Amino acid sequence: MRSVFAYSTARILLFVVATVLLYLLGARSFLLLALALVISALASYVLLSRQRDRISGSLMNRVGAGRPRRGGGLRARLEEGARVEDDE
């Protein structure tokens, strides 16, 4: 959960930095927001790839192992639903 918070915070920070820089360069209104979104998305794709890989790995482990719940893990519930659909 900590890595998701860090990644989200870094994405927001990149957006804010891009917005401020574009504002100082003279972009205003819709152009400012559109350019800031594109620039921050590209920057996060390059700069935050390690954090994104860490998050996806932890999510895959969680889905793969499944958390113990009433009906079992997520994978067990998905397989049970698929089995029920196949039987019908």
Q: In whole angstroms, what is the distance from residue 30 CA to residue 12 CA?
A: 18
pTM: 0.67
The full set of domain ranges for the chain reads 2-87
Q: Which long-range contacts (CB under 8 A, 24 or more apart) does 31-40 make?
A: 40/11, 40/14, 40/15
The pLDDT tens digits for 30-64 are 999 999 999 999 999 999 999 999 888 888 887 77
29-47 helix and 49-65 helix, angle to the nearest 10 degrees: 70
Confidence of residue 66 (pLDDT cuts 50, 70, 90): low
